[in-house]
Structure 1
């Protein structure tokens, strides 16, 4: 049974969001939420509860500690009988390679912005294309899960900014240029897809902010 909604939630504010050098000095998966991030996650849980009411949910969670903590604080708004959950490693953050100095990290991030997020590969890590492939593979699993007759009414993915943008790109078959124009969702923001039974399609009802500057080279297909 197709869920009524697919909801993507970025983790709450983490310590690397307030001090980017932590991305260079600590294992990415261990970075935790700030006190503000915990409060954001609690508020996201309240918003989610208001949205779904007593409907059932299935949570897919990136295994990083900041996404686990976001889920834990969201889930406190619901009785355990209302939801199921599982960790989903394909929802993890883009791998940035081995730990390095903060100066080197800033240099690499500048290169990525200039080259394009989708194609740029961190030395020893992943390109956006690799995360796209993970998301593509995950969609196949989700569609198989949706075939279960007792699948919950809401599918909730708790993940990271890049994964959310690439999920939108893959679901709606957007171009690379359209992906590059998307801004990151805010911490603990709900990005909501709603199912339209008449068209048998999902509609993105959350407005995604677009970057104003020209962020990547563009070459339209001409046929």
Structure 2
């Protein structure tokens, strides 16, 4: 079994933080750069598939669905499921620009995992819904006829937390990891009942508890 994790292409929110103040997070579109990134990621994803069928699970946000469309997987995508549990962390409706900056500083000081956004989610909330998604996904992938590979098109923090949950990484390690770049991927492979990550995430600091990413390879 394999899971290919792909972050969406560059979105309007990645280049204009004030966009979150006037456009709902789920409606933020890709930029022209993001569309190009997604088109360029298409051949890379197809090489990873090497002709295999794939089941696609995609966050229902506009930027993730647009990324998937620009990949142009054609008939290789046997099934496509818009999965709300793969959405980005909910910051709570339209954001006020002043409060947005205050919350970012508070979140950094408090810790990204436990800090609860007013009217939104904590990282722990996202972790909980991803645990349920992973349980369902692993069960589906063992069903007869389900492709051996799943493509998950999602968001930066969501992908980090999905790996944290799957590998049982510590919260300290999770908070030390950087998001994937836009349209960057990671591949998770299961052989002999053990999941392995093809290559580590970038880290902006060593984990305070000394834990390292793994297993890798």
TM norm structure 2: 0.92
Deviation at 1:84, TM superposition (A): 1.5
Q: Counterparts of 1:19-34 in structure 2 under 5 Å?
A: 19-34=16-31
Secondary structure of 2:88's aligned partner: coil
Alpha-carbon displacement from aligned partner over 1:63-115 (angstroms, at most 9, x marks no partner): 000000001011x1x33255321100000111101323212111111111111
**How many residues are paired up?**
211
Other-structure match for 1:55: 52
In structure 2, what is the Cα distance between the partners aligned to 1:124 and 1:218? 31
Q: Is the 8 A contact 1:31 1:65 kept in 2?
A: yes
Secondary structure, aligned partner of 1:21: helix
Quote the Cα distance in structure 2 between the aligned partners of 1:94 and 1:100. 13
Contact 1:55 1:82 in 2 (8 A): no
Of residues 170, 178, 191, the one that matches 2:165 is: 170
Q: Deviations over 1:161-189 (max 9, x none)?
A: 11100011000101110111111111011
For residues 32 and 92 of structure 1, the distance between their equivalents in structure 2, rounded to whole angstroms, comes to 14
In 1, the alpha carbon distance for the partners of 2:76 and 2:86 equals: 24
Query: Could you say what secondary structure the match of 1:149 adopts?
Result: coil
1:207 and 2:200 are equivalent in the alignment:
yes
Measure, in 1, the Cα distance between the counterparts of 2:79 and 2:45: 15
Q: Partner residue of 2:149?
A: 154
Q: Secondary structure at the match of 1:212?
A: coil
Structure 2 gap segments, 5+ residues each: 212-217
Contact 1:25–1:102, Cα closer than 8 Å, also in 2: no
CA distance in 2 between counterparts of 1:67 and 1:42 reads 13
1:108 matched to which residue of 2? 103
Residue matched to 1:95: 90
Which among 52, 74, 82 is matched to residue 79 of structure 1? Answer: 74
What's the offset of the Cα at 1:143? 1.7
Say whether the 8 Å CA contact 1:54–1:82 is kept in structure 2: no
C-alpha deviation, 1:200, in angstroms: 2.5
CA contact (8 A) 2:56 2:77 kept: no
- Could you tell me which of 182, 186, 202 is aligned with 1:187? 182
| Structure 1 contact 25–101 (Cα < 8 Å) conserved | no
Judge conservation of contact 1:27–1:99 (CA < 8 Å) in 2: yes
